[in-house]
């Protein structure tokens, strides 16, 4: 089955009262540098399978957990248990368990948001960072993230629609779960995702629900099997904690990220096409917020799930950057 990716081994770690499922590839111990790979929504460790193989082949120990709320990791029942502070705590425990003073980190989507936060809270643990799709914005005291989203995109932005417990879950449950993943992974419209009141999340996606060419039916089956067991609530709770994470991060208002970093995004990614983001990336704002940002790569004709759509190119970028350190 799809889970049996060649060279990948699996284990469970107890961290902060939560059991985390951890997938690993490459050397099991010793002095091999560790790369921590952090997935987003709706994804799993499995989204990094290509990068794990590439990193292992180059002598790295690739470590990809299912974040809390996902896959074979625990899903705390309280929606408030999914702040970035909770997830960073899980990662600090994982890094300690790996016996490493520092690790390389790669994040995508929510995994990128968590990776930025890890670099902000515990820069001593991160040697260098490659983030995909989601840029770092320093905390703004005058406006919470959801307030900023509503001001820029209105109440029908998908992150606003995800706030009410059970509503998105009910929408997702209306459809065949394999189709859900084909439809979601296939989205390519370079614009913010807006959900009119009379339309569901999936009505607003531009994809036709066929399997993208960079995924196999076996890949889709693995995602469907895991999410059929867990549901989507754990992943959706990250969105429901956006403003709570902002409240808790008041002490870091305006703080920059000083870890050496590289950023990669597709030009069709909804995150790249959010209001103000291209100017922020290309006109100095991003570099001011991440002073050791060494490179920004914008891939043409590539959408949101960049690490799976262009696995070889992304793996080469990651390995090339980390080789400097």
Q: Decide the pairing of beta strands 126-132 and 103-108.
A: parallel
Give yes or no: 304 in active site.
yes
Catalytic residue among 46, 70, 136, 239: 239
Give yes or no: 267 in active site.
no
Per-residue CA distances from 253 to 6, 153, 193 (Å): 44, 24, 28
218, with CB counted inside 10 A (0-12, 13-18, 19+), is exposed
> In b/e form, how buried is each residue of 280-299, taking b as 16+ CB within 10 angstroms?
bbeeebbbebbeebeebbeb
Rounded Cα–Cα distance for residues 25 and 256 (Å): 32
Task: Please name which of 235, 230, 201, 227 lies closest in space to residue 79, comparing C-alpha atoms.
Answer: 235
CA angle 318, 324, 325 (to 5 degrees): 100
Which residue is associated with the tokens 């399997």?
211
| Cis amide bond preceding 227, omega within 30 | no
SS3 call for 264: strand
Task: Please name which of 23, 15, 89 lies closest in space to residue 62, comparing C-alpha atoms.
Answer: 23
Catalytic residue among 66, 74, 90, 109: 109
Catalytic residue among 21, 39, 157, 304: 304
Read off the tokens for 257. Answer: 């990220």
Give yes or no: 43 in active site.
no
Known catalytic residues are 109, 239, 304
């Amino acid at each position: 089955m799809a889970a049996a990716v060649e060279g990948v081994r699996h284990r469970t770690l107890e961290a902060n009262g939560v059991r985390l499922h951890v997938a690993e590839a490459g050397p099991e111990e010793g002095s091999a540098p560790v790369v921590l790979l952090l997935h987003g929504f709706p994804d799993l460790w499995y989204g990094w399978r290509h990068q794990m193989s590439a990193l292992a082949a180059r002598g790295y120990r690739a470590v990809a957990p299912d974040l809390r709320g996902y896959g074979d990791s625990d899903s705390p029942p309280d929606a408030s248990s999914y702040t970035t502070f909770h997830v960073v705590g899980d990662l600090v425990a994982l890094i300690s368990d790996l016996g490493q003073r520092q690790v390389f980190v790669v994040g995508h989507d929510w995994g990128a948001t968590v990776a930025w936060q890890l670099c902000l809270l515990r820069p001593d643990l991160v040697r260098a960072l490659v983030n995909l799709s989601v840029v770092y914005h320093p905390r703004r005291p005058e406006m919470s993230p959801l307030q900023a989203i509503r001001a820029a995109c209105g109440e029908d932005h998908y992150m606003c629609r995800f706030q009410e417990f059970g509503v998105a879950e009910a929408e997702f449950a209306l459809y065949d779960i394999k189709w859900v993943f084909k439809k979601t992974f296939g989205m390519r419209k370079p614009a913010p995702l807006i959900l009119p009141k009379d339309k569901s999340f999936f009505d607003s996606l531009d994809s036709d629900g066929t399997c993208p060419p960079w995924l196999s039916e076996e890949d889709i089956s693995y995602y469907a099997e895991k999410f059929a067991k867990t549901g989507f609530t754990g992943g959706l709770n990250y969105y429901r904690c956006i403003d709570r994470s902002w409240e808790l991060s008041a002490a870091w208002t305006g703080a920059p990220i000083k870890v050496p970093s590289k950023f990669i995004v597709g030009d069709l990614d909804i995150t790249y096409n959010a209001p103000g983001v291209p100017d922020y990336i290309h006109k100095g704002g991003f570099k001011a917020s991440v002073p050791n940002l060494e490179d920004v790569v914008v891939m043409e004709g590539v959408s949101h799930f960049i690490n799976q759509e262009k696995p070889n190119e992304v793996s080469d970028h990651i390995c090339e950057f980390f080789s400097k350190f």
